[in-house]
């Protein structure tokens, strides 16, 4: 009898895990190719770290009435490919979920983003980068190392994955938005020892989307620009969106836009009155949640997607 109860409990746990994955999209289905970012242990990584896990608790807030996966203790970064559906445009976006460099909102700002992009004919590559305490750069270089390596890997596999290596962009939320800006301004030199052919390819994004970013304006210095994020003429065209009532402060978006403007980098800034922080792509009655439509229009405008 006791053995039968254990079998039932294990079966229920497996079913719960399966249903959770179906709802959240994480972990990804076997049909999605997943590869390690590093051939071995990541640079500077310590051994015997806690196991990777969803850290969400019953007390955590819902977004648009739905829960999300707060993935923590990520020591082994990966790339997961979500191939474009229908007509493949050849464009690709590497997605950086947010989470304050502490966790990754891996479905809200990851798998759900890939579902949108692939439905628009854009290949999506989801980066599960290391957390916690892996940014912002230069406090830690770990997340930026993962991002630099990821861009080289995508270009190395471009032909195999049906991607145009000259149309590979990045999109990130919150801390991931900062990571987009960091990569957009730190691409000329790798922050780690070169490993293979992937590291000889450019890690400069061809375009960038920054969604409700943090760490770009310093609140303790009257929202002065972050001196470690310096756009140049080589910084890619950038789309920025944030809500004025964002508790992380809309100045992050405004200050970064002005820095891009001063560097003569083509940029669009979209500021909405309401929206707060951390809404991802989940639609609400607030106009800010229509931002993905604006991104698609912008991608046509800058020639990443064909003219409409």
User: In the numeric block, which tokens belong to residue 304?
Assistant: 């990443």
Q: What is the mean pLDDT of residues 79-101?
A: 97
71 touches 54 (CB < 8 A):
yes
pLDDT score of 8 more than 60: no
The pTM of this model reads 0.92
Residue 48 DSSP one-character state = S
Mean pLDDT across 190-200: 98
pLDDT tens readout for residues 56-81 = 998 888 999 999 999 999 999 999 99
Q: pLDDT band at 46, cuts 50/70/90? A: confident
Residue 137 predicted with pLDDT over 50: yes
Give the closest residue to 125 by CA, choosing from 102, 100, 157: 157
Number of other residues whose CB lies within 10 A of the CB of residue 189:
7
Average model confidence (pLDDT) for the chain? Answer: 92
pLDDT surpassing 50 at residue 196: yes
Which one has a higher pLDDT value, 4 or 232?
Answer: 232
- At residue 13, the pLDDT reads 37
Structure-block tokens of residue 278: 């951390």
Quote the tokens at residue 308. Answer: 């409409």
Q: How confident is the model at residue 48 (pLDDT cuts 50, 70, 90)?
A: confident
Give yes or no for a contact between 252 and 213, defined as CB atoms under 8 angstroms apart: yes
Q: What is the pLDDT of residue 23?
A: 57
Whole-number Cα distances in Å, 174 to 11, 268, 280: 38, 17, 10
- The two structure tokens encoding residue 121: 């004919």
pLDDT, position 24:
65
Torsion of the alpha carbons at 87, 88, 89 and 94, rounded to the nearest 10:
140
């Amino acid at each position: 009898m006791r053995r039968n109860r254990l079998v039932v409990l294990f079966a229920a746990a497996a079913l719960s895990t399966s249903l959770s994955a179906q709802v959240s999209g994480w972990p990804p289905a076997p049909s999605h190719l997943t590869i390690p970012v590093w051939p071995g242990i990541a640079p500077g990584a310590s051994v015997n770290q806690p196991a990777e896990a969803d850290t969400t608790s019953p007390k955590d807030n819902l977004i648009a009435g739905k829960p999300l996966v707060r993935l923590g203790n990520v020591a082994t970064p990966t790339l997961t490919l979500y191939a474009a559906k229908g007509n493949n445009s050849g464009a690709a976006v590497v997605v950086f979920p947010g989470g304050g460099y502490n966790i990754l909102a891996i479905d809200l700002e990851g798998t759900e983003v890939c579902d949108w992009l692939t439905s628009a004919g854009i290949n999506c590559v989801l980066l599960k980068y290391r957390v916690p305490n892996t940014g912002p750069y230069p406090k830690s270089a770990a997340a930026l190392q993962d991002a630099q390596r990821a861009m080289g890997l995508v270009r190395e596999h471009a032909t195999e994955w049906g991607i145009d290596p000259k149309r590979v962009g990045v999109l990130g939320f919150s801390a991931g938005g900062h990571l987009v800006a960091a990569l957009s301004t730190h691409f000329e030199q790798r922050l780690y020892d070169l490993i293979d052919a992937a590291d000889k390819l450019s890690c400069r994004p061809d375009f960038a989307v920054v969604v409700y970013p943090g760490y770009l304006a310093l609140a303790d210095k009257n929202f002065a620009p972050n001196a470690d994020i310096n756009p140049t003429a080589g910084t890619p065209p950038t789309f920025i969106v944030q809500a004025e009532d964002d508790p992380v402060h809309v100045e992050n978006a405004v200050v970064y836009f002005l820095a891009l403007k001063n560097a003569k980098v083509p940029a669009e800034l979209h500021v909405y009155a309401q929206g707060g922080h951390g809404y991802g792509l989940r639609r609400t009655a607030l106009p800010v949640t229509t931002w993905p439509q604006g991104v698609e229009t912008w991608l046509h405008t800058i020639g990443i997607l064909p003219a409409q």
